[in-house]
Amino acid sequence: MKVLYVNSGHWWPHNNLDYGIINGFLQLHCQIVAVDVSNTEEANFYDMLQDFNPDFVFTLLGVQLNTETVRKIKNFGYKIGVWIVDDPYDIDQSLKVAPYYDYIFNTEKNVIDIYKKVVNHDNVYYLPLGSNEVTFKINKDVRYKSDICIIGTGYKNRLELIDKISHELIKYNTKIIGILWDRLKSYSILKNNILLGVVSDEDAAKFYSNAKINLNIHRAYDDDTLRRLNSYKIKALSPNNRIFDISLAGGFQIVDYREDLGKFYEIDKELIVFNDEEDLIEKIEYYLNNENVRNEIAKKAYLRTVKEHLFAHRLAIVLEVIKNSK
């Protein structure tokens, strides 16, 4: 199939997702042309579109792609789909652009019915993210070793949890990596364990591979730290992409529970779930002292991810939808 892919137009982490999507289509033997969203404003874009004559146009997020451009693409006779990956946190913005698309794929199961009502058609599908095997590889490197590794933005609920267990984290070789962690109340205690800033996916994979425990804390559904808005107050049920990335990099992870999690990995056999800070502290202590158990769980999660949770697996569903709707 011939696919014209328009990138998200956003920086990290969406530019990394763009890369994963392009690689996924290539793994599926698609003929793909990738276009920067800014280039869709150029006059020769439509000449290129017609010369390539894709079977399908696809984009990520959709908020940076001008809705007039979407309309013109459709007027030329091409179907266009969008993969929305920031819901429910950014659903107010996403719902503004969704009605312009022929196909809508969304990483959050709990919003699908709302989208069907808003766009008034049934081409709305739950499609969780996957991982990119080109980037997230097992890579043992002592420079990236840690007992506990946390990568991500310091959202409010994450800050609250880390503050509660800071006395435990300071006992170990803990690495906390990302932006906004300087807002921790316990920052003065943990600052030597914190790397403020964004790391590449390649480096993230190395941290995941070399951590004894990767702590994966989902973002709260009502968090508005980055000025996004979920006025519907929709709770998130679906796993974040870090679930898949950690597993593909061969990492062992402890993650907070989400309702849909068990559909992707077997809880207690492929990853470990914690309920509250006391439960988390107990599980950190147990798994730090049981290397063989950790390694077996991480191995099972890795094998499951390779088999079921790559971008190519997700995009095969997209292609099947397009094929069957013609």
pLDDT reported for residue 137? 95
Residues of the chain where predicted confidence (pLDDT) is lower than 50 = none
φ, ψ (nearest 5 deg) of residue 13:
-90, 0
User: Are 215 and 252 in a shared domain?
Assistant: yes
| Tokens read off for 192 | 């030597």
Cβ partners under 8 Å of residue 46, min gap 6? 72, 76
pLDDT reported for residue 12? 85
pLDDT reported for residue 267? 97
Total domain count, the chain: 2
Q: Does some domain include residue 136?
A: no
Name the residue range of residue 31's domain.
Answer: 2-130+310-325
pLDDT reported for residue 232? 80
Write the single-letter amino acid at 149.
C
Q: Does some domain include residue 135?
A: no
User: Are 315 and 304 in a shared domain?
Assistant: no
Give per-residue pLDDT as tens, 61-119.
999 999 999 999 999 999 999 999 999 999 999 999 999 999 999 999 999 999 999 88
User: Residue 247 belongs to a domain with what CATH number?
Assistant: 3.40.50.2000
The position carrying tokens 């006025």 is 231
Reported pTM: 0.95
Contact 279, 205 (CB under 8 A): no
pLDDT reported for residue 226? 55
The β-bridge relationship of strands 103-106 and 174-178 is unpaired
User: Are 297 and 319 in a shared domain?
Assistant: no
Number of Cβ within a 10 Å radius of residue 281? 16
Give per-residue pLDDT as tens, 233-246.
899 999 999 999 99
pLDDT reported for residue 69? 97
pLDDT reported for residue 306? 98
| Alpha-carbon span 321 to 103, nearest angstrom | 9
DSSP code of residue 147: E
| Alpha-carbon span 183 to 319, nearest angstrom | 43
